[in-house]
Amino acid sequence: MVEVFVLGAPRTGTSVLFSVLNQVVRLPGLGEGHVMPLYARLLREHAAYVASAPAETLAHALDAAAFRKVVMEHLRAFYARTLFPGAWVDKTPGAEAIAAAALARETFPNARFVLTVRNGIEAVASIQRKFATSHEHACHIWADPYRAAERLHEDVGEYLQIDQFEIANEPARTAERLCAFLDIADYAAEIGAGFAAPRADQLSSHDPSRRMTLAEAGWTAEETWMFRHICSGQMRRLGYGALLDAG
């Protein structure tokens, strides 16, 4: 019995991770969650409104802490009713979901958190192809979640970080790490096979056995500058800094 939150930027392996947990381990879940970000936003708005309400208004008497407890009870009941009590996988990519991880931890104290990462150069290129968005927006879609993730350990404690490159190139070892973290060792071989299977949504012609460098991205000078401006900090924090300057 395990409750799993899968977090990360889009196009970094969240879907393949959800797929193996859902289809191999048979953890109930839908393709996308997006529940925790919504409720975290609701609680922030409620607390801010109560704090700013004039003393002569009824809203001033609202108890934000009590409301938070009610919301958490509602969320536990919702997940148990909609998915399954004590065993499910919730995959929600994006910065807001990572920022909501503290609420997820408070609501589900026994949940496990997995953060997927990917070289930002490859991820931004994939985001642009998948979503037909601007280069600048694609850079933010990748970088903003990992800025939010800087406090993930503070918010949830121990979590597992998995690189999409490792899923593609070391599927058996990555499956073992995942299964050890989730205490589901019996599924390691099946999950490893799932990681090794061809991807239907493979959008890049780049060789997945090696990491793409910034020089290989084929971007204009302006796009290259934009990527450096928005993404360099997170690239270096995640250990991809050498790819910014490699030829």
pLDDT in tens, 103-148: 999 999 999 999 999 999 999 999 999 999 999 999 999 999 999 9
CA–CA dist 180, 187 (Å, integer): 10
The pTM for the full model equals 0.95
CA–CA dist 182, 168 (Å, integer): 20
Determine contact, residues 99/40, Cβ cutoff 8 Å: yes
Please choose, from the candidates 78, 70, 71, 77, the residue with its C-alpha nearest in 3D space to the C-alpha of residue 33.
78
- Of the pLDDT bands very low, low, confident and very high (cuts 50, 70, 90), residue 205 is low
Domain count, the chain: 1
Q: Which residues, including other chains, have CB under 8 Å from residue 194's CB and lie 6 or more apart?
A: 16, 19, 20, 23, 24, 175
| Domain that residue 104 falls in | 3-245
Q: What is the pLDDT of residue 200?
A: 60
pLDDT in tens, 23-70: 999 999 999 999 999 999 999 999 999 999 999 999 999 999 999 999
CA atoms within 13 A on the CB side of 78: 13
Assign 34 to helix, strand or coil. Answer: coil
Residue 16 sits in a domain whose CATH number is: 3.40.50.300
